[in-house]
């Protein structure tokens, strides 16, 4: 078990460019979450996948954001036409499906996005 | 809607002092409640959880009791150590565990 991994760890991009982040959850976990965290704040829920199905999306997730989990394993989060307000840490977490274990999220190290 | 309000920091304590970090919540239905910890330079880790009213979660000397009547989940530790210095986040989940809501975090510094 290598834990949740995210790639890249840091991304600097110019306003208007598209960016894509990847998350690899713990292998047996079927639940996957994306969050955004800005400085001095707690993580804000963006979206949730159970296997390959995207079951929840926050109102924070504008039309410029899209997430996929095509085979129920890794997930990608794409931001189109980035804005300076998108600068944040993007966190991925996973959990297993059974019983109360579904509440035990394991977080990745995050991808820090800076939009210039 | 669902939300979490936690005590603002930063909090500075001397080693072996008693710690309380307050957390209150607003939720529909029957949420589960959590405390997460983020040590310097590390990712978020689950510290403890309680999935129903009156449950007490505990781990590493930390405790929190799910109080439905006061909608609270305060974090306590009887004697803090320097190694407890971290940012602590209170969180709740929706009934299904499909959405989670975090507080803004409380930074704790323990000095020798």
Can you spell out the DSSP letters for B24-67?
A: EEE-SS--EEEEEEE-TTS-EEEEEEE-STT-EEEETTEEEE-B
Q: Which helix (H) or strand (E) holds B3?
A: strand B3-6
Q: Which residues of A touch B107 (CB under 8 A)?
A: none
Short-list A102, A82, A116, CA closest to A31:
A102
d(CA A9, CA B96): 30
* Of A12-26, A46-60, B10-24, B66-80, the least confident: A46-60
Nearest CA in chain B to A108: B43
A12 touches chain B (CB under 8 A): no
Question: Which band of pLDDT confidence, cut at 50, 70 and 90, is reported for residue B94?
Answer: confident
Contact B63, B56 (CB under 8 A): yes
pLDDT digits 0-9 by tens, B65-81: 999 999 999 999 999 99
Please report, to the nearest 10 degrees, the dihedral formed by the alpha carbons of residues B88, B34, A36, A87 taken in order: -10
d(CA B102, CA A44): 7
Question: Which band of pLDDT confidence, cut at 50, 70 and 90, is reported for residue B98?
Answer: confident
Q: Return mean pLDDT, chain B.
A: 94
Question: Which band of pLDDT confidence, cut at 50, 70 and 90, is reported for residue A1?
Answer: low
pLDDT digits 0-9 by tens, A91-110: 999 998 777 777 789 999 99
Question: How many cross-chain Cβ pairs, A to B, lie less than 8 Å apart?
Answer: 55
Calculate mean pLDDT across residues B16-24. 97
């Amino acid at each position: 078990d290598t834990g949740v991994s995210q790639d890249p760890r840091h991304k600097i991009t110019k306003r208007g460019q598209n960016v894509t982040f990847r998350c690899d959850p713990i292998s047996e976990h079927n639940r996957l979450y994306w969050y955004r965290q800005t400085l001095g704040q707690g993580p804000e829920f963006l979206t949730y996948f159970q296997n390959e199905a995207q079951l929840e999306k926050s109102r924070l997730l504008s039309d410029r954001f899209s997430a996929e989990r095509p085979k129920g394993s890794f997930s990608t989060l794409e931001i189109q036409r980035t804005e300076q307000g998108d600068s944040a840490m993007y966190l991925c977490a996973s959990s297993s499906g059974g019983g109360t274990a579904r509440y035990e999220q394991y977080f990745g190290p995050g991808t820090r996005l800076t939009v210039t | 809607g669902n939300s979490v309000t936690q005590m603002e920091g930063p909090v500075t304590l001397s080693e072996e002092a008693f710690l309380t970090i307050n957390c209150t919540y607003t939720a529909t239905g029957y949420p589960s409640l959590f405390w997460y910890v983020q040590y310097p330079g590390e990712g978020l880790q689950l510290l403890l959880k309680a999935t129903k009213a009156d449950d007490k979660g505990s781990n590493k000397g930390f405790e929190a009791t799910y109080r439905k009547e006061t909608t609270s989940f305060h974090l306590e530790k009887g004697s803090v150590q320097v190694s407890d210095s971290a940012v602590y986040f209170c969180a709740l989940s929706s009934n299904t565990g499909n959405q989670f809501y975090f507080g803004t975090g409380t930074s704790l510094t323990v000095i020798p």
